Amino acid sequence: MKKYIFIPLLLVTLMLPISIFSQLTLSKIEAEIEKDHPVEHLPAPVLQEILQSPENAKEYLLFDTRKPEEFAVSRISGAIQVDPDMKAEEFMKTYGDTLAGKHIIFYCSVGKRSSIFLEKVKMNAYDAEVASLANLRGGIFRWYNDGYTVMNDSTETDDVHPFDRFWGQLVQKRDE
């Protein structure tokens, strides 16, 4: 009798994550990241406004914390790719001289890796006298979904690296 109860219970348990994941939206993921990572989360329209002003743009540095193969497919114009696994000390050694007085913004696909990276380098960056640190809310997926331009090398593209099949479902294809 116990075997007959165990098998359906096991099947329900195995199916549970699939049903939970199918309910996820980028907005829900953003909210969860903001709850788990108490850093400043900059909305995409605010970053777009900053980048449109050449005077303001000079005061900002944008770091893409995705892997090189993701960065090669698309990026926000002007972004610098950094390995998300880079140690804080290595980041400071490489970029520390350029950070003083700047507003630093990190992004990745949805904001998780970049929030973690920001938390990792936060103390060292403030020691280097950065003006502020922020994570791009929703990452490049939100940026793209909101209709902003992404680049590959020096040309505009409509491709965004999906990270994997599951996460790629959060990228809204544009009408061509």
Give the pLDDT confidence score for residue 2 in this predicted structure.
Answer: 53
Contact at 8 Å (CB) between 89 and 117?
no
Q: What homologous superfamily does CATH list for 39-168?
A: Rhodanese-like domain (3.40.250.10)
Tens digit of each residue's pLDDT (9 = 90 or more) over 32-79: 999 999 999 999 999 999 999 888 878 999 999 999 999 999 999 999
Distance (Å, rounded) from C-alpha 171 to C-alpha 72?
Answer: 17
pLDDT in tens, 123-160: 999 999 999 999 999 999 999 999 999 999 879 999 99
Domain boundaries along the sequence of the chain: 39-168
Q: Percentage of the chain surpassing pLDDT 90?
A: 78
* Residue 24: per-residue pLDDT: 80
C-beta of residue 145 within 8 angstroms of C-beta of residue 158: no
Structure tokens at 175: 């009408």
For the residues 27-35, what does the mean pLDDT come to? 96
Closest to 64 in 3D by CA, of 125, 124, 105, 122 = 105
Q: What is the pLDDT of residue 23?
A: 61
Phi, psi (degrees; rounded to nearest 5) at 135: -110, 140
Q: Do 30 and 110 meet the contact criterion of CB atoms below 8 Å apart?
A: yes
